[in-house]
Amino acid sequence: MATEAPLNIIAVVKLAMSLRDPPCMAQIEGPPLLGSFNKVVIVKFDDDLKWAFRTPRPDGAGKGLPAVLLCELMRSEVATLDYLARYSSIPVPRVIHHSCTDVNSIGVPYILMTVAPGVPFAEHLSRVRLVGGQNPSDAAARILRQLGKISFDLSNLRFDKIGSLWKKDDSFGVGEIRAPAFVTQDRYALSMETQRGPFSTEQDYYKALMDALFGHVQDLYMSNHFFRGPAPDPADYPDADNYDLVLDRWNDFMAVGDKIDSSENRIQYHTAGKIIQDIIPQFSVPEDDSGFPLGHAKLSSKNVFVDINGNITCIVNWQYSSTMPLGQLLMTPALTNHRCQPSITDHTAFRDGFDAAAKDTVIRPPVSWLLTEVLWQYMRWVSLDSYNDFGLFEALLKWHPEFAGRDPLRLIDELRGRADIVEARERLKEWERGLIEMLRDENAYFDAFRYGAKIRRIAKILTERFVSRPQVLGREFWMASLSEDFGNANGPRN
C-alpha cells in the first residue's frame, strides 16, 4: 500500500515568512490537526501571530476525488471566503494565500489562512458536560440563536442563480454546484445527465437533486443503505454494548444474499424516489427576483468555533458551500449529529435568533418554518445522508398530493408494474451478481470468524423471517434477536 508523502514543513514555513511584512521568523506549532477532509498545520510567528496551512487529506473524506474537482472546490471556497469578508460581518477565516494545484513550492494544493479563534463547539460542549455549571442543551440553544442571526445575514447575500461561487479578477459569479449531494459518495462521476447547474429556479435545483439520487441508485454502490433494513442508529439503543451487538448482527444479516447492492434494493429506492418527485412542486415558493442566498453546506459542531463564553468566533470549512433556496438556508442546523433531525428546542432557538435579527424586515420570498423541516428531510433523502432512509420516505410521503396516508411498502409494491418502474428494474438487473460470486464473498465474510458457521445460521434465520412478509427492520427486530435463543447457533463470534 502506498504511503502518503510527508508534508514539506520547511517549504510551508518559508512560504508563510515570505508573506509577512515586515519579515518575521516562524515555526510549526504542534502536530498536524486532522479533520475528515483536510490536514491543518499551524504556523506560529515570533510575534505570536498564527496562520493555518490547510491541505486536503489523501486518506480523508475527499479520497478519490479527481484533482480537477479538488481544485474547483478549493477555488470556490476561496471565492466564498473572500466574498463573505468583503460583503458581510460573518466571522470567517481570512485567506492569506492559496494554490489550487500541487504545482507550487510545497507540492500540494493548499489554503493559507488566519487561525480561527476559540475552539470548535464540539470541544466546548465536551467541557460543559465535564465541568458542569451549564446545561448542554442551553449551550446548544445559545449557539443556535447566534446561527439564526448569521443565517439572516446570509439571507441578504443574494445571487441570480443556484450554484457554487467563483471569482475572476475582482468580480464574483455563480457556476456549477459543488454541494455534497452532487459530489460526495462518488457522485462526481455520474454522467452529465445529472445536471449540476447553475440553476435558475428552485424547481430545477430540486429536480437535479432527485436526478442525482437516481443516478446514484443506477450507477454507484449503495454503501450501507438498505431500504427495508436501515443501518442501526446508536441513539436507538440503550447503551454502546447493545448497539455494537446489533451492528454486528446487522452486518451478518447483510452478508447473506448480497442484499444492499441487489436490484431489488435499488428498485425500491428508485420507486420511492419517483413517488417523492411528485411533491417537489410543493417545495417551491412563488418565484420573484429576490435571488438565492449564500449558505454553508454543513453547520456542524466541528465547523463552528466559539470562545469560552459560548459566543461564535468563526465559521470554517466552506468548501461545499453554494447559493441555495431560502428554505434550505433556513433549515435548523443539526449541530451535534447532522443525520438526526433537530429537536423542537433547537428549532425554537434558531428561529428566535433569525426573527430577532430580521425584526421588521420583509423576507422575500416568504418561507414557512414548516417547509424548512420538510426540506431537511428531502435533502437527507436525496443525499443518502441518513441512518433511516425509509423513515425519511415515510415522512415525505405525507406531503404527496395523491398518496398521502397510504402504506409505504404496499404503495411501492403496487407500482411494480408501472411501465417506467419495469424499465428501471431491467436496467438495474445489470447489478445482479452470479450465485457463485455471491457465495464466494459470503463465505469469505463468515469464514473470517471462528464461529462463522453459527453466525451464518442466525443470519439465514433472520433473512427467512425478513422475506416472509413485507416489513422494515428496526430496533424492535434487532433487540428481539439479541434475546432470542437460537439453540446451538448462539455463542461468541471468535
Are 326 and 371 contained in the same domain?
yes
Sequence-ordered list of residues with C-beta below 8 angstroms from that of 419, at least 6 positions apart, any chain = none
Q: Is residue 491 part of a domain?
A: yes
Sequence-ordered list of residues with C-beta below 8 angstroms from that of 67, at least 6 positions apart, any chain = 101, 102, 109
pLDDT (mean) for 57-83: 91
Supply the pLDDT for residue 289: 82
Q: Is residue 2 part of a domain?
A: no
Between strands 322-323 and 292-295, the pairing is: antiparallel
Query: Residue 493: which pLDDT band, with cuts at 50, 70 and 90?
Result: confident
Supply the pLDDT for residue 2: 44
Q: Is residue 131 part of a domain?
A: yes
Are 347 and 300 contained in the same domain?
yes
Supply the pLDDT for residue 285: 76
Number of domain units in the chain? 3
Task: Kindly report the backbone phi and psi dihedral angles of residue 163, in degrees, each rounded to the nearest multiple of 5, phi listed first.
Answer: 175, -170
Q: Which of 48, 83, 115 is the last residue in one of the domains?
A: 115
In this predicted structure, the answer to whether residue 193 has a pLDDT above a threshold of 70 is no
Query: Residue 36: which pLDDT band, with cuts at 50, 70 and 90?
Result: confident
Are 279 and 398 contained in the same domain?
yes
Q: Is residue 176 part of a domain?
A: yes
In this predicted structure, the answer to whether residue 3 has a pLDDT above a threshold of 70 is no
The CA-based diameter of the chain, rounded to the nearest angstrom, is 77
In this predicted structure, the answer to whether residue 364 has a pLDDT above a threshold of 90 is no
The grid cell for 40 is 491543518
Q: What is the pLDDT of residues 171-182, one digit of tens each?
A: 999 999 999 999
Round to the nearest angstrom and report the end-to-end CA distance of the chain.
28
% of the chain residues with pLDDT over 70: 97
Q: How far is Cα 233 from Cα 474, in angstroms, rounded to an integer?
A: 9
Sequence-ordered list of residues with C-beta below 8 angstroms from that of 392, at least 6 positions apart, any chain = 377, 380, 381, 386
Q: What is the pLDDT of residues 268-319, one digit of tens each?
A: 999 999 999 999 988 877 777 889 999 999 999 999 999 999 999 999 999 9
The grid cell for 290 is 429576490
User: How many CB atoms are closer than 10 A to CB 49?
Assistant: 14
Q: Is residue 219 part of a domain?
A: no
Query: Residue 29: which pLDDT band, with cuts at 50, 70 and 90?
Result: very high
Supply the pLDDT for residue 491: 61
Picking from 225, 255, 232, the residue whose alpha carbon sits closest to that of residue 476 is 232
Residue in the structure block whose three cell numbers are 443525520: 339
In this predicted structure, the answer to whether residue 98 has a pLDDT above a threshold of 70 is yes
Supply the pLDDT for residue 372: 95
pLDDT (mean) for 325-340: 91
pLDDT (mean) for 79-91: 98
Q: Which of 411, 427, 443 is the last residue in one of the domains?
A: 427
Are 336 and 438 contained in the same domain?
no
Q: What is the pLDDT of residues 47-64, one digit of tens each?
A: 999 999 999 988 877 788
CATH value at residue 170 = 3.90.1200
260 near 254, Cβ under 8 Å?
Answer: yes
141 near 278, Cβ under 8 Å?
Answer: no
Picking from 368, 196, 379, the residue whose alpha carbon sits closest to that of residue 276 is 379
Are 464 and 477 contained in the same domain?
yes
Which CA distances in Å does 123 have to 70, 91, 92, 159?
28, 19, 19, 35
Are 327 and 406 contained in the same domain?
yes
Q: How far is Cα 237 from Cα 225, in angstroms, rounded to an integer?
A: 19
Are 323 and 371 contained in the same domain?
yes
SS3 letters for the chain?
A: CCCCCCCCHHHHHHHHHHCCCCCCCEEEEEEEEECCCEEEEEEEECCCCEEEEEEECCCCCCCCCCHHHHHHHHHHHHHHHHHHHHHCCCCCCCEEEEECCCCCCCCCCEEEEECCCCEEHHHHHHHHHHHCCCCHHHHHHHHHHHHHHHHHHHHCCEECCECEEEEECCEEEEECCCCHHHHCCCHHHCCCCCCCCCECCHHHHHHHHHHHHHHHHHHCCCCCCCCCCCCCCHHHCCCHHHHHHHHHHHHHHHHCCCCCCCHHHHHHHHHHHHHHHCCHHHCCCCCCCCCEEEECCCCCCCCEEECCCCCEEEECCCCCCEECCHHHHCCCCCCCCCCCCCCHHHHHHHHHHHHHHHCCCCCCCCCCHHHHHHHHHHHHHHHCCCCCHHHHHHHHHCCCCCCCCCCHHHHHHHHHHCHHHHHHHHHHHHHCCCHHHHHHHHHHHHHCCCCHHHHHHHHHHHHHHHHCCCCCCCHHHHHHHHHCCCHHHCCCCC
Q: Is residue 3 part of a domain?
A: no
Q: What is the pLDDT of residues 209-245, one digit of tens each?
A: 999 999 999 999 999 999 999 999 998 999 999 999 9
Domain that holds residue 36: 9-115
Supply the pLDDT for residue 68: 93
Q: Is residue 220 part of a domain?
A: no
Specify the range with the lowest mean pLDDT, choosing from 202-216, 217-231, 407-421, 427-441.
427-441
Are 393 and 315 contained in the same domain?
yes
Q: How far is Cα 70 from Cα 319, in angstroms, rounded to an integer?
A: 9
In this predicted structure, the answer to whether residue 485 has a pLDDT above a threshold of 90 is no
Are 333 and 421 contained in the same domain?
yes
In this predicted structure, the answer to whether residue 365 has a pLDDT above a threshold of 80 is yes
In this predicted structure, the answer to whether residue 357 has a pLDDT above a threshold of 90 is yes
Query: Residue 1: which pLDDT band, with cuts at 50, 70 and 90?
Result: very low
Task: Give the residues across from 168 on adjacent strands.
Answer: 171
Are 180 and 305 contained in the same domain?
yes
Question: Average pLDDT, whole number, for the chain?
Answer: 93
CATH value at residue 83 = 3.30.200.20
Are 298 and 188 contained in the same domain?
yes
270 near 217, Cβ under 8 Å?
Answer: yes
Q: Which of 83, 98, 115 is the last residue in one of the domains?
A: 115
Are 20 and 130 contained in the same domain?
no
Q: Is residue 107 part of a domain?
A: yes
Task: Kindly report the backbone phi and psi dihedral angles of residue 313, in degrees, each rounded to the nearest multiple of 5, phi listed first.
Answer: -110, -25
In this predicted structure, the answer to whether residue 5 has a pLDDT above a threshold of 90 is no
Picking from 446, 391, 490, the residue whose alpha carbon sits closest to that of residue 255 is 446
In this predicted structure, the answer to whether residue 366 has a pLDDT above a threshold of 90 is no
